[in-house]
Amino acid sequence: MICMKPIEVFKALSNESRLQILQWLKEPENHFTPHEGVDMREIGVCVSQITQKLNMTQSTASQFLSMLQRAGLIKTLRIGKFTYYKRDETAIGEIADFLKQEI
């Protein structure tokens, strides 16, 4: 059973930039340079790198990331003054299963 609200997931996925973030985070090593030697697969990608790649203000990028997080599609980890984001593969698998079974 899905632990997230599907409508929140679909709202989060209804924006091209938010979809792009999820695509980049699927294979972060292909889209970002590791931040201070951080293992991007394990820890995630720094918000500043995502902001730069989106070519938008940090405020807008943060709003997009917050929406993805509220929908349960990404996880965050704070290390010092940096916040890192990575996909929640379990949640993404759940929404894929929901689509296969319910829609």
> For the range 7-10, what are the long-range contacts, defined as Cβ-Cβ under 8 Å and sequence gap of 24 or more?
8/70, 8/71, 8/72, 9/71, 9/72, 9/73, 9/95
Cβ-contact 71, 4 below 8 angstroms: yes
pLDDT tens-digit profile of 59-74? 999 999 999 999 999 9
| Distance from C-alpha of 34 to C-alpha of 53, rounded to nearest angstrom | 14
Q: Which of 9-13, 18-22, 34-38, 87-91 has the lowest mean pLDDT?
A: 34-38
> What are the chain's domains?
6-102 (1.10.10.10)
Query: Does pTM top 0.85 for this prediction?
Result: yes
pLDDT tens-digit profile of 20-41? 999 999 999 999 998 778 899 9
| Distance from C-alpha of 6 to C-alpha of 99, rounded to nearest angstrom | 9
